[in-house]
Structure 1
Amino acid sequence: MNLPAKALPLLLAALLVAGPLLIVVSALPASTVPTTTAMKRVPQHLITPDPQLGAGVPQVEAGPSSGGSALGTRASGTDPVIVIPIEFQDVTHAGAHNTAYFDSMMNGPSPSVNGFYQENSYGTFGLQATVAGWVRSAHTMAYYGQDGSGVDDATGPIYRLTVEAVQLAHAAGVNFANFDSNPNDGVVDHVVIVHAGGAQEASPNTNLIWSHRWAVIDGDPNLPGDQRLVEDSKQIYGYAMISEDSPVGVLAHEFGHDLGLPDLYDTDSSSLGIGVWDVMGSGSWNGNPRGTSPSDFSAWSKVKLGWVTPIEVTAPLLSQRIAQVENNSVVYRLTIKTASTGDEYLLVENRERVGFDAAQPGSGLLIYHVDDSVPNNDNEAHRKVDVLEADEASAGDTPNDAGDPWASNAVGLGPDTNPNSNGYGNIRTGWKVRNIGAAGTIMVADLSREVDDDLAILKVTHPTAVAVNSAVNVFVTVRNQGARTQPNVNVTLRVFLNSLAPASEVNISNGRQSGPGLNTTQFEVFTWTFTASSQGRYILDARVDLAGDEILENNERLGHVTSLVFVDGFQDDVESGMGLWNTPGQGALDAYRWAIVDDSSPYGKSHSPTHAWRFGYYGGIPNLMRYHYLDSRAISVTGGPLYLVYYQSYDLSRIETPTANETDNASVEVMAGAGPWQRVAFFQGKGLPWQTISVNLTPYLGPTPTTLRLRFNATSSIMPNTGGWWVDDIFLSATNLSRAVAVLPVVSDRTVDPGAEAVFTFKLVNIGDYDDTFRFSAALPSGWTAVLVTNSTSVVPVGTARVPLAPDAETSLQFRVVAATSALRGTVETIHLTATSANDASKSADFVATARVADPLGLGGIQKYIVWIILLGIALIVIVILVDHAKSRKFRGHLR
């Protein structure tokens, strides 16, 4: 065979070997990196500004309404309203704005304020207003309207205009006793002050008055202390103030506060909040002219006002007919979780452009994600009431357009859509709203929860801190959250000391327990007891096992108990009465007083288990004491170090007030030996979530053994009746508390193609003693990228993600990793994601993700040698050719 003839088949053989490998390298699936989505206080509840003004609400402090009604109680019947128009020395009212004009605005046929409430309550609640004649202030508009440190406060709080208007109206013959429909409380139900001139929310003029809902805190500033405003033996407290030019929507919004509703716009102006879909948001300005056709209340607001009883979806509702909500009290509730602090759920309603909703931008199903444990809509990543917009994937978070309602959408909302039906913390719920029909008076949709098998650890109940060698009781609550009855329930509790390392596990008796079968929605409480024989952090790891469980994130939950040596045995979980404490100077019927409350009390809430101390208003005899004390018994102390630890929640301020002096004071004081009392901690304003407080008392001790007394000291000159100072789990120890973090893997092993995305899931748990914020870092292979999904819609780079958690709180996170396009098939990458305390860099935990680069041909990474294989093949061909050529020449020479 000659050289060309032999080389050709050899080259073909080399290509047959190398060709498939080249194809594997070059014809790889492509993927794109996930895009990153964007994730004070003033007086009163201010109306959100006219959107055409293009400005936010200045310095708004979010918070509950100061309304006279408890939210969640049914508003029914007809409430009396007194309307008092007032003009100024320099600004008089327009001629057309006589008493008949305001009577029509309040009482006339729609569009009127009464018509608005009749429509929204389905005819069960309305208003009957009496309009007084115009009265004239002794001051100018700017005297009341000029802005100072806040809104309308340059010469004092704006409620002083209400004081003047009420006193002038009374002098003109208004009998305020006619406007208290509940004589037991002695407070006028609804007061509306209408001032002459324009409104600041619709103008850049800062000398105008901003429409608001507030209360008369002090009816006579010339007398010491806060004086009630009383006429005809009735107190005038809450009021709404609007301009003579204000449209119906402004007053409809302010009356919502009167009934107990909060603002649902974003009061820090960083987002739109609920947008145009509730009069408590920017929907108060719907219509043309602006505000003449305000949005109806959202499903959430109607439920809270008692006008709608939501239909709980407990089984699939397929092709469900959903009537328009404007004239049918039909709302569906899809529960995500229930909790004592507030439930989380979805609400579904059919909103059509009829009645006051005629000015809405679109029609269809509105789906809301609600978390009643959240106080307001200021945090766009975790709102109280969030509209899940149908066009959110394309239009972003903009709840003010025609694309927000869901209509003619077969895919609808589910775990796999954007937005999705996940709960906060990115917990999969399984809820689906599918096969959504066309918008109309009757819409059709499937409401279902496709979760057949799901056992969940709802909570792990345990003490906060115990003495060394004490028994620790642990209660683990398990619930069947799937549709299928589970015949066997197996729960395991593991206990670790100071870390989750296997060597740190503590042996406990009966660590694995089996319970009876659970029907859907049933729950069972499992109990363990162990002895905390050492000082340190006992980490509790409760897990329920179920083959085929569809929601793995809720199968495991951590908690922790701190074991300490208490100084002189001083430790109080407030479950055994006031034996360690006394309240000097306090009477049993004092209006403001210290008392032990339990979780079922009107103002009761505890840190653990069910009782806490609270200072606040209970009703009774006024007490002129400036300070109110909760004093401890004498405690024997031999020296330092010494730490006071306790847990607190407080609201010492009126939400309507703008400055720091409009708050009561809370102090923690100590006295060593014979004194004096020394302040060691001081608080003002508001801090409603439970907080861990640790105070180093060592500097306050003398050089020799002594006795120590503790004192919690509060004032009560500003505090609203619903406020207070809650204190629980109080102890003294020579050891301070500390921070800690743990990671629970959920999905840690994935197969991924080069250039494609792998999604890992884990739970982050704060097992430390303080509120903490965690940051992240990842060690990625070259060319790989990653992001974190910190809740259902927030995708952020790993390095910029921040996750705040309270002690023992947890959240589920997604770690989305995109492999390099050059990743070698058959290789396995181990990726470490580290979560670190932002307050203590020594406290961290690792999530270890295993990414297996797909190898469908079983080549085991051989493609990285492809170049050498090709070169070797060519070299072998050359060698074969040369050897063959040499042999041919030798053979021919021998013949000669």
Structure 2
Amino acid sequence: MSRIPQPEVYVEPQQPPGGVERPRLRSTAAAFTSLMALAATSLVAGPTVAAAPEGPCALPRTPAHHSLGLDTWNASYPRPDHALDAVMIFLSFPDSRPLTSPAELAADHFPATSGFYERASYGKFRLRAHSEPRWLEMPYASTAYGIRRDWDPKRRKAYMRDALSVADPLVDFSQYDVVYLVADPDAPGVDSDATKVVNFDRPLRADKTDISRVVTVFERHPPDRNVLAHETGHVFDLPDLYHRPVDGKGDWDTYVGDWDVMGSQFGLAPDLFGWHKWKLGWLDRRQVRCVAPSGTSLLTLEPIAAEQAVGGSAGTRLAVVRTGKNTSLAIEARGATGNDGHTCTEGVLIYRVRSEAASGRGPVEVVDTHPRSEACWEQSVYPPLADAPLGIGETFTVPGERTRVEVADRTPTGAWTVKITTGA
């Protein structure tokens, strides 16, 4: 059984399912010619909403925690559009002798986490990890801090202050953008479910540097897959995409299933959604197609996880249909490559984005284009969404949105030819 994902600590009418149409397949050449003719009649007027610098389909950032609006960047978070430095600090306790070395624990997470982000960003972002070589002993026993999933705020704050206090004489915090506090996984008071990002309402200060947030790592050895990639996403202002049931029971993966590491660290296709990549600065305007609110558009979508050719032209990675002041439909291709190399299905994925929805409250919801079927029972974190993408020859009308998506074919290079009809 997979461990239930741990939410970040904050300092602060459903549509009926749609159906897939599977028309009788024409030849690839005939389908493409027909769609090109339709595309020539497309309307090109933009949505009747104010245009942001990123274009008319960029949603505004709202006060919601980790808002997915991207007309502006929240300057309290480091933006990963250049190389950033991270430090791993290893904490032991008087009541336990570590059974593993700091080097072994560092190797649990790096270079895997750096590799995840280098692939996700198409090489535009490098996370450079620096590890302290020794254990730093905390002043109190591990059991004294009450470490657990829903941690008492006073005990959590005491843990943070003690950790930074023992590290400050050896670590120059002014040199780092990201701080990982890694606890001895074998100490009796350490709970692996407590791994999370902690935001401070008032920054702590060390080396004349404000520390606004840290990643507290309590993982087992070896750790859960992609867990640090998930937590690091919060450091860059990305939200939790899973659904936490009110009573803690039930399925946590109903919003996005396997399709983004911010939903599940165990996902089969954990690469970040194209919307996230746009927000983080890894996709530019040339790679995002704002679809007109009425008409028919034909485009070719490169798989979101595929590498970008060095010096080559930037292909379209994301199509966006603006549906309201704070809402959009996003359309992208997912293929078995890069971070998505272990996906069990390929095709064109559709999802809703809400910039007014806070982290953990459904800022992204994948549209299930095959609501009556499931896939990958033995591997998927949520089989009902494992077959969410549209395949070749399939057409889907998004419930309540007057938007129809048709997948015509796949090019020899692996891109997908897609027709999007809006306002119908």
Q: TM-score, normalised by structure 2?
A: 0.70
Q: Name the counterpart of 1:135.
A: 136
Cross-structure match for 2:159: 161
**What is the distance in 2 between the residues matched to 1:71 and 1:393?**
43
1:332 matched to which residue of 2? 318
Name the CA distance, whole Å, in 2 between partners of 1:191 and 1:265. Answer: 24
Letter in 2 for 1:276: D
Matches within 5 A, 1:45-84: 52-53=2-3, 64-65=65-66, 69-70=74-75, 75-84=80-89
3-state secondary structure, aligned to 2:340 = helix
Task: Give, in angstroms, the shift of residue 252 of structure 1.
Answer: 0.7
Give the corresponding residue for 2:28. Answer: none
Q: Determine helix, strand or coil for the equivalent of 2:316.
A: coil
Match of residue 705 from structure 1: none
Q: Which residue of 2 aligns with 1:637?
A: none
1:256–1:69 distance in 2 versus 1, CA, 3 Å: farther
Q: Equivalent residue for 1:386?
A: 365
Amino acid of the residue matched to residue 98 of structure 1? P
What's the counterpart of residue 152 of structure 1?
A: 151
**1:412, distance to aligned residue in structure 2 (A):** 1.9
Question: Does the 8 Å CA contact 1:274/1:387 hold for their aligned counterparts?
Answer: yes
Give the SS at the match of 1:367: strand
- Of 255, 258, 278 in structure 2, the residue corresponding to residue 276 of structure 1 is 258
Change in Cα spacing, 1:73 to 1:160, as seen in structure 2 (3 Å) is closer
The 1:439–1:295 alpha-carbon spacing in structure 2 relative to 1, beyond 3 Å, is farther
- The 5 A counterparts of 1:830-845 are none
Q: In the alignment, is residue 196 of structure 1 matched against residue 184 of structure 2? A: yes
In the other structure, the counterpart of 2:58 is none
Deviation at 1:302, TM superposition (A): 1.3
Whole-angstrom distance in 2 between the partners of 1:71 and 1:277: 27
Tell me the residue number matched to 1:266.
243
Q: Matched residues in 1 for 2:422 and 2:345: separation? A: 30
Note the 1:1-20 alignment, pairs <5 A.
none
Query: Cα–Cα, structure 1 residues 163 and 69, in superposed 2: closer, same or farther, change >3 Å?
Result: farther
Q: Which has the larger radius of gyration?
A: 1
Alignment partners' CA distance in 1, 2:217 and 2:412? 36
Q: 1: CA distance between counterparts of 2:367 and 2:97?
A: 46
Indicate whether 1:102 and 2:106 are aligned: yes
- Residue 254 of structure 1 is matched in structure 2 by 231
The structure 1 residue matched to 2:175, chosen from 166, 174, 178, is 178
Contact 1:330 1:349 in 2 (8 A): no
| 1:93 to partner: Cα distance | 3.0
Task: Give the whole-Å Cα distance in 2 for the aligned partners of 1:206 and 1:252.
Answer: 21
Q: What amino acid is aligned across from residue 289 of structure 2 in structure 1?
A: I
Contact 1:351 1:363 in 2 (8 A): yes
Deviations 1:611-670 (A, max 9, x none): xxxxxxxxxxxxxxxxxxxxxxxxxxxxxxxxxxxxxxxxxxxxxxxxxxxxxxxxxxxx
Aligned-pair CA distance for 1:403: 1.5
Relative to structure 1, is the Cα distance of residues 86 and 407 closer, same or farther in structure 2, using a 3 angstrom cutoff? same
Greater percentage in strand: 1
Could you say if the C-alpha distance between residues 77 and 302 of structure 1 is closer, same or farther in structure 2, counting changes exceeding 3 Å?
A: same
Q: CA deviation at 1:447?
A: 2.1
Question: TM-score, normalised to structure 1's length?
Answer: 0.35
SS in 2 for 1:235: strand
Task: Give the aligned partner of residue 280 of structure 2.
Answer: 305
Question: Which of these residues, 242, 249, 272, is aligned with residue 217 of structure 2?
Answer: 242
**Relative CO higher for 1 or 2, CA cutoff 8 Å, sep ≥ 6?**
2
Alignment of 1:349-388 (within 5 A): 349-378=332-361, 383-388=362-367
What is the RMSD of the two structures over their aligned residues, measured on CA atoms? Answer: 3.6
CA–CA distance in 2 between the matches of 1:207 and 1:305? 31
1:316 to 289, 293, 296: 296
2:306 matched to 1:345?
no
Secondary structure of 2:119's aligned partner:
helix
In the alignment, structure 1 residue 296 sits paired with structure 2 residue 271: yes
Deviation at 1:206, TM superposition (A): 8.4
Superposed displacement of residue 450, structure 1: 5.2
Give distance in 2, aligned partners of 1:386 and 1:98. 39
1:751-790 alignment runs, 5 A limit: none
How far did 1:444 drift?
A: 3.1
1:212: Cα distance to partner?
0.3
* Conserved? CA contact 2:66–2:359, under 8 Å: no
Q: Give the unaligned 5+ runs of structure 2.
A: 13-63, 68-72, 309-314, 376-380
Matches within 5 A, 1:569-718: none
Give the AA of the match of 2:352.
H
Per the alignment, do residues 166 and 413 of structure 1 end up closer, same or farther by CA in structure 2, a change over 3 Å counting? same
Structure 2 partner of 1:213: 197
Matches within 5 A, 1:484-633: none
Provide the rounded CA distance (Å) in 1 between the counterparts of 2:77 and 2:90.
32
Q: Which residue of 2 aligns with 1:422?
A: 400
- 2:147 touches 2:156 (CA, 8 Å); kept in 1? no
Matched positions, count: 343
Q: Secondary structure at the match of 2:214?
A: strand
Cα 1:296–1:450 shift into 2, 3 Å = closer
Whichever residue aligns with residue 406 of structure 1, its letter is L
Q: CA deviation at 1:376?
A: 4.4
Q: Which residue of 2 aligns with 1:403?
A: 387
Gaps of 5+ in 1: 1-50, 180-188, 218-225, 288-293, 415-419, 424-428, 452-549, 551-896
The Cα shift of 1:209 comes to 5.5
- Distance between the aligned counterparts of 1:177 and 1:286, measured in 2? 35
* SS of corresponding position for 1:165: helix
Identity of aligned residues (%): 23
